[in-house]
Structure 1
Amino acid sequence: MGIKASPVFALIDCNSFYASCERVFRPDLAKTPIVVLSNNDGCVIARSYDAKPHIKMGEPYFQIKDRLAQLGIVAFSSNYALYGDMSERVMSVIESLVPAVEVYSIDECFADLTGIDDVNALGRHLRHILVQRTGIPVGVGIAHTKTLAKLANHTAKRLQSQTGGVVNLCTEFQRHWVLRNTAVSEVWGIGRRMTVHLQGMGISTAMDLASADPWMLRKKFSVVIEKTARELAGTPCLELDEPDPPKQEICCSRMFGKRLTTVAPIKEAVATYMMRASEKLRAQQSYCRKVRVSIRTGMFNPDEAKYAQGVVVTLPYPTDDVRLLTKVAVDAVDSVFRPGFKYSKAEVMLLDLRQPGEFSDDLFAVNQPAEASRVMAVLDEINGRWGRGTLRAASVPVNPAWSMRRELMSQSYTTRLDQLWRVS
């Protein structure tokens, strides 16, 4: 019986993902610093590498607007449709080149490289193919544990000119060099408060943590810190996760682009949010039995009256039909709306979610009609092919006046036919 090969993980992380997505279709900005703003153009949530020395994360846009212009930094409103589609393209390319993938976030994933002979060559190939096929640059960290792979990726980005964007910590010499030259605060899962505790014990580098007694760490802190230390020392404790189980709740909420004082636009917003929530519901092949609808005013302006209210509605039968879900949600707005307030946000939440056949009803219980399921399948197929919102409920407006402020948003080059990239 052969010896089982040591596991090898890769952490593939897109470089400044939101900014990189904007640059794919704006080659004129290849050497221009970029920042991306939060909902309603509120604050900075992403920065290109060359913008980081000048702008801090979370800085309010209205405070730094003039400074951005002086520094030649270009700001973009968040374009989640573009970022989501580009993420799917990146992950699809990676999945075609490696044995197994665990998507960790919108811009990074773990890959199983166990048994592959030349992992360095594969790492370089991944970088080349991803830039060629998607235009998105990535860093690749390779190691025998997921925690070390994360650390290798951090080093690949920090020292990109020396590493070429690929770092392999499968050898003891390379692993020890990186551990000695990395602060413990940079280790995956070590937050600010934990860093203070560890530094108080004389643990200031990743090497210090890897060399610490894991049983002592478990007793003093938790099994999570123990596993982190063992992983840094080269002992695998974390495996590639299985696909996430279906969610038990689905929520969709947004801030309005301006305060709303009448019920009609709030109903439009609720219908719009329900459209998105129901898409997520059908994507995980679940049915919903209850819906919660809530609205609220702004909570931080001392000059505005405060109000927040929500209501839970039980549906007549488990369903994924956006028509029934929208009707119930829109009708529920009347029970929570109160005149005289300036509303800033609405939320819809789908509750009591289960897979078809998991609801225990009596023999005479009403079920979703078969034709409704067929209509939803056609709806999703058309929107999947021609772009979200091609078919929608009549109560969902096209360009509502209440939508989030995104005055600096780029085009949805990959998801809308009317916004395809044009080269003159």
Structure 2
Amino acid sequence: MPIALVDCNNFYVSCERAFNPELEGKPVVVLSNNDGCAVARSNEVKALGVKMAEPWFKMEQLAKRHGIIALSSNYALYGDLSARVMSLLSTFSPKQEIYSIDECFLDLDGFDSQSLVAYGQTIRRTIKQYVGIPVCVGIAETKTLAKLANHCAKKRLAGRDGVCDFGRYSDTQLSKLFATIPVNDVWGVGRKISQSLIAMKIETVEDLRTANQTRMRQQFSIVVERTVKELNGISCIELDGTDTPRQQIMVSRSFGQEVSNFDDLAESIAYFASTAAEKLRKDGSVATSLCVFIQTNPFKDKSPQYQRSLIVPMGEPTGDSIKLVNAAIQGLRVIYRVGYSYKKSGVLLMGLQSRDAIQASLFDDAAEQDKSSKLMTLMDTVNQRMGKGSVTIAASGTKRRWSMRRDSKSPDYTTAWDELPIAR
């Protein structure tokens, strides 16, 4: 059963370039929360030796010498473009597994094996034309091999024009190819496992593919044995086309500047609880409890340290932003201590259940629940039509002095009416 792995190229950078063509061909790096470290790099930046997660202060001089353009992360933009990419990709296969924000598996069972490369090219052209994001496509008989084929397409080790189908290669050709690829490039082989494998003289993909499966299981685990089988074309990891309901939803941020007073901290907690509640309703779920937490900066050794969390039961399952915000702030009142400079806070919604599976109690106020449901539906509808944050809970504030540093953030081109790009 052929499987395709479609992966967006340097996704965050590609999102920025889609709306700012002047960035094409230039070295671009996207920074993490509070402009801390590299979370996405263009090929030009990679060629300069900048590593993933490298702190900005370490590359700042290099950036000045080579004209590296640093951008703050814009997750609203990336999330929206990801949804558009995944929606388009779903039209290419009856079964899709979204693996991450920028990649997904497609079931190509029943497709003409002789035309899969052409089909992959059609996928690439369509995504580029409709969303402006470049992708590569890897095709093989198992998920592990499909990931490897995609790697080969991106690195131009095999395939052509961003598409690599291992089904077009003989066993001899694949053996020669795999002998040139380091073992740590295999999906699921992390740094520690790869170090152990290399110590055993298993240094390439081909070495791992031809390794004794029983020995791999005894030396490591069934996971590594499964990887070896997948490299030999034996499917052990099924394609999961179902959306598994989330068990928890967390929203948390480190602050751009430290917060000491209760009101600013409460504003952050209210904002996080409201954001989590919006995600909860989008999933069609309700929460039975929440956890609120705060902490100081653990990297400031000379400053007083404090961190605390508290679980707050909701009484009855709810997806109401107002109720969840009130509960979170009540929890904050219990754990807050004067005299500390807080660096991070967050809210975790717990005990999630399907909204449709909740049975009403004899003591429930049906009219109040109906009113709450209509209010939340109205709020979500307005925010969907007019842009995120058009209607908010008052307690979440507007100034948000605690918010992340994002000194070089691009506009929210697709999710805010007042930031829509203007055609010239």
Q: TM-score range by the shorter chain?
A: over 0.9
* Conserved 8 A contact 2:297-2:342: yes
- Superposition TM-score, scaled by structure 2 size: 0.94
SS of the residue corresponding to residue 272 of structure 2 reads helix
Name which of 153, 160, 175 aligns with 1:156.
Answer: 153
User: How does 1:30-109 map onto structure 2 within 5 Å?
Assistant: 30-54=24-48, 55-109=50-104
Cα 1:160–1:411 shift into 2, 3 Å: farther
TM-superposed deviation, 1:180: 2.1
* CA deviation profile, 1:264-312 (whole Å, cap 9, x unmatched): 1111111110111001111221111212111111111122110111222
Measured in 2, the distance between the counterparts of 1:207 and 1:160 equals 15
Name which of 134, 139, 142 aligns with 2:131.
Answer: 134
CA RMSD of aligned residues (A): 1.8
TM-superposed deviation, 1:85: 0.6
Measured in 2, the distance between the counterparts of 1:162 and 1:250 equals 40
1:172 alignment counterpart = 170
* Conserved 8 A contact 1:316-1:366: no
Measured in 2, the distance between the counterparts of 1:12 and 1:406 equals 30
1:13 alignment counterpart = 7
User: How does 1:13-412 map onto structure 2 within 5 Å?
Assistant: 13-54=7-48, 55-117=50-112, 118-159=115-156, 163-170=160-167, 171-173=169-171, 174-356=173-355, 358=357, 363-364=362-363, 369-412=369-412
* Conserved 8 A contact 1:152-1:168: yes
Q: How many residues align?
A: 418
More deviation, 334-343/375-384: 375-384
Cα 1:281–1:147 shift into 2, 3 Å: same
TM-superposed deviation, 1:358: 4.9
Measured in 2, the distance between the counterparts of 1:351 and 1:18 equals 30
TM-superposed deviation, 1:107: 0.5
* Conserved 8 A contact 1:36-1:47: yes
Write the letter of the residue equivalent to 1:94.
Answer: L
Moved over 6 A (4+): none
Gaps of 5+ in 1: 1-6
More deviation, 204-213/352-361: 352-361
SS of the residue corresponding to residue 395 of structure 1 reads helix
Write the letter of the residue equivalent to 1:67.
Answer: L
- Superposition TM-score, scaled by structure 1 size: 0.94
* Conserved 8 A contact 1:291-1:350: yes
* Conserved 8 A contact 1:155-1:178: no
Cα 1:70–1:418 shift into 2, 3 Å: same
TM-superposed deviation, 1:360: 7.4
Write the letter of the residue equivalent to 2:120.
Answer: G
* Conserved 8 A contact 2:28-2:68: yes
TM-superposed deviation, 1:202: 2.3
Measured in 2, the distance between the counterparts of 1:87 and 1:162 equals 25
More deviation, 193-202/117-126: 193-202
Cα 1:155–1:161 shift into 2, 3 Å: closer
Cα 1:236–1:75 shift into 2, 3 Å: same
Write the letter of the residue equivalent to 1:376.
Answer: M
State the percentage of identical aligned residues.
41
* CA deviation profile, 1:325-360 (whole Å, cap 9, x unmatched): 111212322211111110111111112222236567
Write the letter of the residue equivalent to 2:309.
Answer: G
SS of the residue corresponding to residue 111 of structure 1 reads strand
Cα 1:166–1:357 shift into 2, 3 Å: closer
